[in-house]
Amino acid sequence: MDDEIDYDLSTDRWETLKTLRAPVSRPSAISRTVLKDLIALGLVSMSDDLPVITRQGRKALIRGSSRLWDVAA
C-alpha cells in the first residue's frame, strides 16, 4: 500500500518545514498559525515546547510539492 501523500502546502508552510530541519534557535520567529496547520497534518510535533519536524514531515519535504516541481521545470 502506498502511503505517500502529495502535500499542496503554501510557500510559508514549506519554508517552515525547511526551517525545522535544523534545531530551531528562534521558535518565536515561526508563525503559530502555520505551526498549528503543520501539526494538524502530522508534519510537525512539539517536544519540550519546541517544534520538531516528524518523519512524515521529512518525507514530505524531501518529496516536495508538484507546485514546486512546476517552478523548477
Predicted local distance difference test score (pLDDT) of residue 40: 95
Q: What is the pTM of this model?
A: 0.75
What does the pLDDT profile of the chain (73 residues) look like in tens digits?
Answer: 345 567 788 889 988 888 888 776 667 778 899 999 999 999 999 988 889 999 999 888 887 755 555 554 4
- pLDDT for position 33: 94
Task: Give CA–CA dist 72/37, Å, rounded.
Answer: 25
Distance CA 30, CA 48 (A): 16
Tell me what pLDDT residue 15 has.
87
Report pLDDT for 37. Answer: 94
